[in-house]
Copies of this chain bind each other. A is one copy, B any other.
Amino acid sequence: MVTITETPFDPWQTISQYQEQMQCDGEFGACATFVGTMRDMNEGDEVNGMLLEHYPGMTEKHLESIVANAEEKWGLLDTLVVHRVGELFPNDPIVLVAVWSAHRKDSFEACRFIMEDLKSKAPFWKKESLSEAEQQAGKNRWVENNTSGY
């Protein structure tokens, strides 16, 4: 399942609730997850807030195609992707990827694959507010590139 949300979410509660309604009890031996969280520093600067923009429609389609690719490439039982958009603050969870499979190799590899594809291709854009003064003056900065995760 892929969800884009403007509402802050608790990643552990979200996984827990999702897992409870899954239909593969007893089948999954492995669950690999990744949670990306907003830090209060980036490139040496203090960051007070962030605006996360996306391309409604294309973003969902792209994430669903990433998940479909992963499910085809590995033997997965279920996959959950949640991504926050809108206004975020330090310590807010940004993204959650959880992958369930029978054996650990598949969920480990699929979870990392989904995150890397999401970071490099899913249409999201981050704009950072570096200080409250700058924020009020509208002097924010777009993050220009994601670093590689491999």
Residues of A within 8 A of B (CB): 10, 12-13, 15-16, 19, 25-41, 90-91, 102-105, 107-108, 111-112, 115, 119, 147-150
Contact = CB atoms under 8 A, between A and B. Distances in A.
Which of A19, A26, A119: most chain B Cβ within 10 A? A26
B147 A91 contact: no
A86 to B, nearest CB: 19
Given A13-B16, A29-B36, 20 more contacts: A10-B16, A12-B16, A12-B19, A25-B91, A26-B40, A26-B91, A27-B39, A27-B41, A29-B37, A29-B38, A30-B34, A31-B33, A31-B37, A32-B33, A33-B34, A33-B35, A34-B104, A104-B115, A105-B149, A108-B112
Contacts of A112: 108
A124 B19 CA distance: 27
Contacts of A38: 29
A68 to B, nearest CB: 22
Task: State the copy count for this chain.
Answer: 2
A41 B108 CA distance: 21
A34 B144 CA distance: 31
A82 to B, nearest CB: 14
B30 A35 contact: yes
A104 B36 contact: yes
Contacts of A31: 33-35, 37
